[in-house]
Amino acid sequence: MIENKLWDEIQTGAGAATTRRVRPDDLFLFSRLSGHHNPLTLPPSALRADGRPAVEAVPAFLVAAILSAAVGNRMPGPGSVWRSANITFLAPVSPGDELTASVTVTAKYPDGTAALAFKVSKSNGEAVAEGNGVVAAPVTRITLPHIDIPEVMVERHLAFDRLLAAAKTRAPTPTAVVQPDDEASLGGAIEAWKAGLIDPILVGTRARIEKCAAALHFDISALPIEAVADDDQAAARSVAMVHEGRVRSVMKGHLHTDVLLHHVVKKDGGLRTGRRLSHVFVLDLPGRPTPLLISDAAINIAPDLDTKVHIVQNAIDLARAIGITLPKVGILSAVETVNPAIPSTIDAAVLSKMAERGQIRGGVVDGPLAMDNAIDAGAAESKGIISLVAGHADVLIAPNLESGNMLAKELVFLASAETSGLVIGAKVPVMVTSRADDERARLVSAALAQIYGHYLECGESLLAPTMTGDCP
């Protein structure tokens, strides 16, 4: 319980203290609330004016706010009102430091105020701030239970920032942009071009593309246009340009996915390899250090076991391409035990055994796993699951398209995930974005195509290089 002290209860020399550890997210929250945007106090480190890396530091007045908590919660407690304060800041504070703010009553005044001396120290005893002030003591009794303030999650998407930075180290990829005749698709292609990720060739109906560019107020005279009559011809021409060596990736524009994939998967003249095509969502979730991959949520509606083998292998390859050296793959179902009445649990068990026998390579595969014990170590432990994957999955394989699509979109719209994605299994990366995808999603999908293209050509990740030589 928290109970305040009225003016006549306060004794000179009485004191109180409170302790708090400063989290990196606190710096973002302070910046958001105060408008304080000094890059020296915002992780990750920005650059100082002289160009050298900055050292993350806690803003001085965030330290003062911890001091204010000692007064408002402990001495005199709830109902106190600051009248004045004089604070000297003695030493820098870094995220992770544990701070103790202590206050001592030094005098009482007839007008109902009290003078305080205060100090803020690190756990090693080093003083970081000290001073004195005057507060108006509470005039009514206030007794409160300890208030458990909800944790606040800061929406940071650092994983995608790393992907974009890595992709920009590679020369732009010649890319066929298929029928970019609406603002989302043409705008996305232009942004990827401006970011140095693609060298676009616009394939489609010239009049529609130029009309769209005019609506965007963007001059596309520097971009080549491969003029065709309709969507079907645009898809066919884009695939043909891969065989001609003119492009090394394909980006879907304003046409139906089926129209594009019809030409991609053709036996004669398509972009088939020995793999089934599958789509992999790559999600950047706040608070998660690495991306989360989900497959298949866009192409294979009700995959059989053979198709799931390809889905898993494609997802592993993309995970390795983005720097996850040994991806942990969770095969999802409704339960974590094999149940003949639930076919997806049998598929999951078979896929796990196939990975053990080397029929699926490059990752650790386990299943069946329910969603909770695939991503939460505590949930896995509570159910007695002993697994390298449970609680630590990098890749989630859904039983079918419906469940995968719902899972990915729930994370985007309910958990503030940023999304991107790629079609894997063709001769070149194929970017298939949704009309609902924003500019950032299209940009990161282009970065994924860059990174995966490098992986196909060089056998290594741009984010975790292992080879040497002249690989582009």
* pLDDT per residue as tens, the chain (472 positions): 788 899 999 999 999 999 999 887 788 888 888 888 777 777 654 433 444 444 568 889 999 999 999 999 899 999 999 999 999 999 999 888 999 999 999 999 999 999 999 999 999 999 999 999 999 999 899 988 877 766 666 666 778 888 998 999 999 999 999 999 988 889 889 999 999 999 999 999 999 999 999 999 999 999 999 999 999 999 999 999 999 999 999 999 999 989 999 999 998 899 999 889 999 999 999 878 889 999 999 899 999 999 999 999 999 999 999 999 999 999 999 999 999 999 999 999 999 999 999 999 999 999 999 999 999 988 888 889 989 999 999 999 999 999 999 999 999 988 888 899 999 999 999 998 777 777 788 899 999 999 999 999 888 898 876 655 556 6
The amino acid occupying position 266 is: K
How is domain 158-458 classified at the CATH fold level? Isopropylmalate Dehydrogenase (3.40.718)
Q: Could you give the angle at the alpha carbon of 367 between the alpha carbons of 362 and 371, nearest 5°?
A: 110
Q: Which residues of 414-432 are buried (b: 16+ CB within 10 A; e: fewer)?
A: eebbbbbbbbbbbbbbbbb
Q: Which helix (H) or strand (E) holds 251?
A: strand 249-252
The amino acid occupying position 235 is: A
DSSP assignment string, 414-449: HS--EEEEEEESBSS-EE---TT--HHHHHHHHHHH
Taking the domain 2-144, which CATH number applies?
3.10.129.10
| Domain layout of the chain by residue ranges | 2-144, 158-458
Q: How remote is the C-alpha of 141 from its chain's centroid?
A: 46
- Residue 397: closest CA among 256, 288, 229, 281: 281
- Greatest Cα pair distance in the chain: 95
- Residue 455: closest CA among 351, 364, 327: 327
List, in sequence order, every residue forming a beta bridge with 200; answer none if it has no partner: 175
- Using DSSP's 3-state secondary structure scheme, residue 206 falls into helix
Q: Which helix (H) or strand (E) holds 129?
A: strand 127-136
- Using DSSP's 3-state secondary structure scheme, residue 411 falls into helix
